Structure 1
């Protein structure tokens, strides 16, 4: 899920009993399943230390975590320790997952992030990664214990607000408490009489939980977690309290934060260009952050929105080669066509000293054309990237033909792709190709990038041009990808001097501060007097995105959409990043509510 790909192997199985993947901001998730290697033992010790910081009242359980991993082969359930680390190998958080293969269910025993760090969505990333891990193991559902959000059940009423936030978080994933049982009355030496709800997460499926199945699950959980046998009086009491068939799940209790209910009848329809191309480049079982579910989440957020869907038209290579080096286009087409399904190529060597000496082996040559180690080539990467370009050009032509707003729902994204290099999950620069097309005939185009990560590709492509004004608001490159560009002093070169503007921002920027910067950027665009606006839209600026550092809410996103709409320009919106599915859904809705309010 939030989650990315590890250098030179998106999801590499090692003999050490560990698997791993990482994100563009170096949030690396590793699954530890034994303690055979020194690195695995180091990770287990780091998890134990983090646990003691997060749960100082329970100093015995860390040793149990280590014991479970050590004894995994002798248990009647699988034990999976998911560890999240930063680029320096420091532990950010972990989850401990039990998988009961015979029942096809998982149980999340613990989830914790380092309390000394600003989490910036790490908890959400951990939970999404754990859900993905459970699905990959074959789970049809996942259970977890969560402290109750009802005052009368609490020993410490002052924790009510925290518990409510926690259950509201899980409810976003459709994970809600099982109702009508005595599970929350469980009293053992381990839980010290602190009640918990048994929460059921259907893992994105529409499932009916049956009584007999839940009784079996409860027995296994209590055996695995507390060592209670099935004939223990406490187990018998709780199991027999499960009487509903099908099992009752508590109705949703929390509205998602900042979500707005509004009458959509008065809004003018927006052209939406989307095909099925976004499903092509799907690295299944890889934990890859840039995945098709992102687009599905956006479409769910816009499900009741007035849209005019347009199928992408197919265009030749000419628009791509007008922006990208033909050698890059040819290389991507050739190498991807030769790869077998499921085979991934990651660049490992970057020829900064001898770029003229290209290896004959196409796979090894990837480093000549790639910016990083986590953007893979596959047999579908080129096809998906070409289809995303078709999507953007189709939307650009709608704008050129007189449409006020068109939304190109592209995947993969594009703004990191440079003239002769791909990277950052981007292969071809969809927004730049569309902007270049709109600039034909002497038209002036402003390209505004509001993705959290600097659009280095868009900047480089137009850096020496005065007919396309590039503006980017992003996390400071000292802290965030791509690190080498996006600084405030980068203002253009040659004819393009003064036609590039960067707004690198510190972490922690919220609604008001972001909108203040946006207002200045829009003033600069207004002075340019463009004929068209191309917007690279990223929802990774929102609070909780695992790759970002801003804390913009849906209220802020709606304001951003409204401010951009007030420019009154024919506007092409090209989808870029955003890696929290919840944020994609609510963010897309909020943005277009704000934008549409300016359309008359």
Structure 2
């Protein structure tokens, strides 16, 4: 199973963000990707740099105006506010009536939902190559590979069609799923990151050709809030093609695996011909953002069950932060998946 990664993804280096009203160190650090990359090398994975597929696959999923806003947004912010200011929105348009302003500070609020996606000098290059990493892994699978792993960083599953959210700028998993539709009639996207795949839900909610399933704690009481409730099952052509499986905070490994089986059953019933996995290791019991209690053997069992679907699969990295077991959990999942598909 080949892996894809580009060192330019390390360029996004946010220092802090605001959580519960307080400034704190930003959890989504370049070191996350370095830990995962080094584990891949130790375990004998072939790591390839992604090809440059341009903006077309990204704009096929995201609002093109949002995509076009990002390349020079940091430079424009620095010109306006100075290099010491934090490039986050400080005003928002509310429920989205109105029009995009021309002022950079107003634009930040228009295209960014929260303080967790501060722009840095290297953000654009990092998010661009994170998306290209997902696209290259997808193309490998579309061209016949049984599976490929995209070490995407920054992650993507909170990014909505027209805004950043929750550490995420481009929704790499949705970009992958949409591109797989060029080859396969029905595609499933399952999200096993501990947080709601709210961006994926937003993007896919009215599509019937991509089935979306997310396992996560109840968004009524756990971030990212707002989307991911059990009664959100899709609209229009997408009615019945979204499935949110809710965990209790503090859920055990067995609880998680039982819900995973439910999601896998739904994927089989949908008749999926290919699979994308939004792969988060923040379900780990010792993750800094922990809410449930999965351990290394649990991640291995998740890999076995997903591999048993016997579908062409793109594994797209999402969360999993700088806890002590990050490398072990990633190794357990990825090496188990690799062995299971041989």
Q: Normalising by the residue count of structure 2, what TM-score does the alignment of the two structures yield?
A: 0.92
| Rounded Cα–Cα distance in structure 1 between residues aligned with 2:268 and 2:84 | 47
Asked if structure 2 preserves the Cα contact closer than 8 Å seen for 1:272 and 1:308, the reply is: yes
Match of 1:321 in 2: 59
Match of 1:462 in 2: 204
Unaligned runs of 5+ in 2: 17-23
Spell out, residue by residue over 1:463-483, the C-alpha distance to the aligned partner (whole angstroms, 9 max, x if none): 111110000001211222111
Spell out, residue by residue over 1:121-165, the C-alpha distance to the aligned partner (whole angstroms, 9 max, x if none): xxxxxxxxxxxxxxxxxxxxxxxxxxxxxxxxxxxxxxxxxxxxx
Within 5 Å, give how 1:253-402 maps onto structure 2.
Answer: 270-284=1-15, 287-340=25-78, 344-352=86-94, 355-402=97-144
Match of 1:429 among 162, 171, 190: 171
What SS does the aligned partner of 2:246 have? strand
Match of 2:148 among 406, 410, 414: 406
| Rounded Cα–Cα distance in structure 1 between residues aligned with 2:179 and 2:173 | 10
Do the aligned partners of residues 299 and 379 (structure 1) sit closer, same or farther apart at CA in structure 2, a change above 3 Å counting? Answer: closer
| Rounded Cα–Cα distance in structure 2 between residues aligned with 1:593 and 1:354 | 44
Within 5 Å, give how 1:72-221 maps onto structure 2.
Answer: none
1:418 lines up with 2:125 in the alignment: no
Asked if structure 2 preserves the Cα contact closer than 8 Å seen for 1:297 and 1:581, the reply is: no
Match of 1:483 among 225, 228, 243: 225
Do the aligned partners of residues 389 and 408 (structure 1) sit closer, same or farther apart at CA in structure 2, a change above 3 Å counting? Answer: same
Match of 2:269 in 1: 527
| Rounded Cα–Cα distance in structure 2 between residues aligned with 1:330 and 1:462 | 21
Spell out, residue by residue over 1:400-421, the C-alpha distance to the aligned partner (whole angstroms, 9 max, x if none): 0001110000110000011111
Spell out, residue by residue over 1:535-578, the C-alpha distance to the aligned partner (whole angstroms, 9 max, x if none): 00001101011212101111111111111111111110000001
| Rounded Cα–Cα distance in structure 1 between residues aligned with 2:322 and 2:334 | 18
What SS does the aligned partner of 1:533 have? strand
Asked if structure 1 preserves the Cα contact closer than 8 Å seen for 2:73 and 2:104, the reply is: yes
Do the aligned partners of residues 301 and 308 (structure 1) sit closer, same or farther apart at CA in structure 2, a change above 3 Å counting? Answer: closer
1:472 lines up with 2:214 in the alignment: yes
| Rounded Cα–Cα distance in structure 2 between residues aligned with 1:359 and 1:500 | 34
Spell out, residue by residue over 1:499-522, the C-alpha distance to the aligned partner (whole angstroms, 9 max, x if none): 000011111112211111111110
Within 5 Å, give how 1:476-555 maps onto structure 2.
Answer: 476-555=218-297
With 560-569 and 365-374 compared, the bigger mean Cα shift is at 365-374
Unaligned runs of 5+ in 1: 1-269
Shift, 1:343, TM fit: 5.1
Asked if structure 1 preserves the Cα contact closer than 8 Å seen for 2:296 and 2:328, the reply is: yes
Shift, 1:441, TM fit: 4.9
| Rounded Cα–Cα distance in structure 2 between residues aligned with 1:427 and 1:554 | 29
| Rounded Cα–Cα distance in structure 1 between residues aligned with 2:184 and 2:313 | 17
Do the aligned partners of residues 386 and 489 (structure 1) sit closer, same or farther apart at CA in structure 2, a change above 3 Å counting? Answer: same
| Rounded Cα–Cα distance in structure 1 between residues aligned with 2:58 and 2:44 | 31
Do the aligned partners of residues 509 and 349 (structure 1) sit closer, same or farther apart at CA in structure 2, a change above 3 Å counting? Answer: same
Asked if structure 2 preserves the Cα contact closer than 8 Å seen for 1:511 and 1:556, the reply is: yes
Shift, 1:585, TM fit: 0.5
Asked if structure 2 preserves the Cα contact closer than 8 Å seen for 1:540 and 1:578, the reply is: yes
Asked if structure 2 preserves the Cα contact closer than 8 Å seen for 1:462 and 1:496, the reply is: yes
What SS does the aligned partner of 2:166 have? coil
| Rounded Cα–Cα distance in structure 2 between residues aligned with 1:442 and 1:303 | 31
Shift, 1:442, TM fit: 5.4
What SS does the aligned partner of 2:94 have? coil
Do the aligned partners of residues 353 and 400 (structure 1) sit closer, same or farther apart at CA in structure 2, a change above 3 Å counting? Answer: closer
Asked if structure 1 preserves the Cα contact closer than 8 Å seen for 2:189 and 2:277, the reply is: yes
Shift, 1:375, TM fit: 1.8
Do the aligned partners of residues 339 and 354 (structure 1) sit closer, same or farther apart at CA in structure 2, a change above 3 Å counting? Answer: closer
What SS does the aligned partner of 2:70 have? helix
Do the aligned partners of residues 367 and 465 (structure 1) sit closer, same or farther apart at CA in structure 2, a change above 3 Å counting? Answer: same
Match of 2:194 in 1: 452
- Which one has the largest radius of gyration? 1
What SS does the aligned partner of 1:466 have? coil
| Rounded Cα–Cα distance in structure 2 between residues aligned with 1:312 and 1:430 | 13
Do the aligned partners of residues 495 and 297 (structure 1) sit closer, same or farther apart at CA in structure 2, a change above 3 Å counting? Answer: same
| Rounded Cα–Cα distance in structure 2 between residues aligned with 1:283 and 1:518 | 33
Asked if structure 2 preserves the Cα contact closer than 8 Å seen for 1:565 and 1:599, the reply is: yes
**Greater relative contact order (CA < 8 Å, ≥ 6 in sequence):** 2
